[in-house]
């Protein structure tokens, strides 16, 4: 970009902030994301090819940052809900029984479904890393994991 960054910031700040605010409906999050957007733009300005307008480029950065934030919040909410203690002892017994059945089904599951499922669930590896372990693609890991889940579910329904 050939524009001085301060001028660039002043030119687009309100437009980007308004765009983000319409997306999130939260002023604090909109301000924070706007700041992160300009910081990311400053870091990656050399990669801006000019295929789109600067405003479009900034909005693209903002959308990616919001998607990242959403994923973090979703993961945090999932972890928090898993960490909550069981309120009903009967539910805990049913869950323990279900867990045992899942492990039994998993023990009988054929490869590579078994290992992919274990790496994803227990090893908490990303699909990309699982693909690397098997010298396959990330998409292969996703499909294999999905198929493993389906096989486990089918066998759980049979029992």
The domain defined by 5-82 carries CATH number 3.40.50.1820: no
- What's the predicted TM-score (pTM) here? 0.47
Predicted confidence (pLDDT) per residue in 60-106, tens digit: 999 999 898 888 887 777 766 665 555 555 555 556 677 777 778 87
DSSP string, 52-93: S-HHHHHHHHHHHHHHHHHHHHHHHHHHHHHHSPPS-HHHHH
CATH number of 87-158: 1.10.10.10
Domain parsing of the chain, residue ranges: 5-82, 87-158
Residues 6+ apart with CB under 8 A from 104: none
């Amino acid at each position: 970009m050939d524009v001085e960054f301060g001028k660039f910031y002043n030119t687009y700040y309100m437009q980007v902030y308004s765009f983000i605010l319409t997306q999130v409906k939260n002023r604090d999050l909109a301000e924070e994301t706007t700041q992160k957007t300009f910081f990311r733009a400053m870091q990656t300005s050399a990669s801006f090819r000019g295929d789109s307008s600067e405003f479009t480029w900034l909005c693209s950065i903002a959308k990616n940052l919001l998607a990242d934030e959403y994923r973090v919040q979703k993961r945090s909410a999932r972890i928090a809900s898993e960490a909550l203690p069981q309120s009903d002892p009967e539910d805990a017994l049913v869950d323990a029984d279900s867990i045992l059945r899942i492990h039994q089904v998993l023990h009988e599951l054929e490869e590579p479904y078994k290992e992919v499922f274990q790496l994803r669930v227990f090893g908490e590896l990303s699909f990309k890393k699982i693909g690397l372990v098997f010298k396959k693609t990330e998409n292969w890991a996703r499909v294999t994991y999905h198929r493993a889940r389906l096989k486990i579910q089918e066998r759980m329904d049979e029992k």
